[in-house]
Amino acid sequence: MLKKIAITGSESTGKSTLSKQLAEHFNTVWVKEYAREYLNNLNRPYQPKDILKIAKGQKENENQISKKANKVLFSDTELIVTKIWSEVKYQDCHPWILEEINKQDYELYLLCDIDLPWKEDPQREHPHLREHLFNLYKREFETRKLNFEIISGTKEQRFKNALRFVKDYL
């Protein structure tokens, strides 16, 4: 049975790096963040309808890549990220996203802390809201009673901490 683990949290917290490191360690695949690919190919400012397309693209990528996974699948982001992004940006979230969050079957969420330095990137929008966003994620996981761990520290410490939590879980 495939075990699914989400690496999640706000922007510029090392999710992609951690997802890749964990997948390599466990000799498996990982699901990249679809939003980055989608927005890189968008020739205009994104709109609420784009967030729904991103959510659907993320789910489709996960479905396709999970077929190649070796016992465990790591996902760089998941739909709670999309929900919070949509609510912060537009004070609303499409019902499809909310319904799909309830169907997510991640058994462990690794919530990346905001203790890494902010790295500027054209797709990143909220360097001044890092603490607020982190608290939104944490509250969401607690309210939903999801199995999550906070991953803090330097790049190397994050990997060691995440690896310990994943091994304990598996």
Average pLDDT in the chain: 94
Chain segment 87-102, per-residue pLDDT in tens: 999 999 999 999 999 9
CATH number of the CATH domain containing 114: 3.40.50.300
Which residues fall within 8 angstroms of residue 55, CB to CB, at 6 or more apart?
Answer: 79, 82, 94, 96, 97, 100
CB atoms within 10 A of CB 26: 21
The pLDDT assigned to 122 comes to 66
The pLDDT assigned to 98 comes to 98
What's the pTM value of the predicted model, to 2 decimals?
0.94
Exposure of 65 by Cβ count < 10 A (0-12 exposed, 13-18 middle, 19+ buried)? middle
- Domain count within the chain: 1
**H helices present in 26-107, as ranges:** 34-40, 48-66, 79-90, 95-103
The pLDDT assigned to 11 comes to 86
The pLDDT assigned to 152 comes to 95
Look at 84 and 119; give whichever has higher pLDDT: 84
Chain segment 24-71, per-residue pLDDT in tens: 999 999 999 999 899 999 999 999 999 999 999 999 999 999 999 999
Per DSSP, the three-state class of 38 is: helix
Which domain covers residue 86, as residue numbers?
3-169
Exposure of 92 by Cβ count < 10 A (0-12 exposed, 13-18 middle, 19+ buried)? exposed
pLDDT at 143 over 70: yes
Sheet holding 72-76, edge to edge: 30-31, 72-76, 3-8, 108-112, 148-151
